[in-house]
A = this chain, B = another copy of it.
């Protein structure tokens, strides 16, 4: 009956370790100046058509906080600001080649972190796990901390 309480603890524990391992993997691949929160910004920016205000809503922070984060990512060479085709106020955000490289590094680290799970569970249970979590997945943006 208290599966429910245990399950919430398991998800939190698993997520915490996953964040840590992805961050470590990204750092080891030469992107030591990125923190977990940056990854969530990359997710939104790589989707395209993102302004700073869009990013703020995606991350669940104020637009000033998003603007500071963008400024940092631009300064470090991961993101560039391009003019918006239909709105002279706005700037479209885009990943630079370095930004895409960091994204690939994060993806690789995420795959490496999850790979042992496939071995532990076996192929069948692993696929079921993916299917189950897909059912439970929230519709909204991916907010929290990696």
Contacts and interface: CB of A to CB of B under 8 A. Distances in A.
A69 interface: no
Interface of A is mostly: helix
Give the oligomeric copy count. 2
Interface string A1-32: 01111111111111111111010000000000
A132 B126 CA distance: 9
B144 A19 contact: yes
Interface stretch (A73-81, A83-91, A93-101, A133-141): A133-141
B117 A136 contact: yes
Given A12-B19, A125-B128, A128-B125, A136 B120 contact: yes
Contact of A145 (B3, B120, B126, B145): B145
Contacts of A138: 13-14, 16-17
A10 to B, nearest CB: 4
Contacts of A129: 7, 129, 132
A20 to B, nearest CB: 7
A107 interface: yes
Contacts of A118: 4
Interface residues of A, number: 49
Contacts of A82: none
Given A4-B114, A7-B130, A13-B142, 16 more contacts: A5-B107, A7-B117, A7-B133, A8-B113, A11-B11, A11-B18, A12-B19, A15-B144, A16-B144, A16-B145, A17-B138, A117-B136, A125-B128, A128-B132, A129-B132, A145-B145
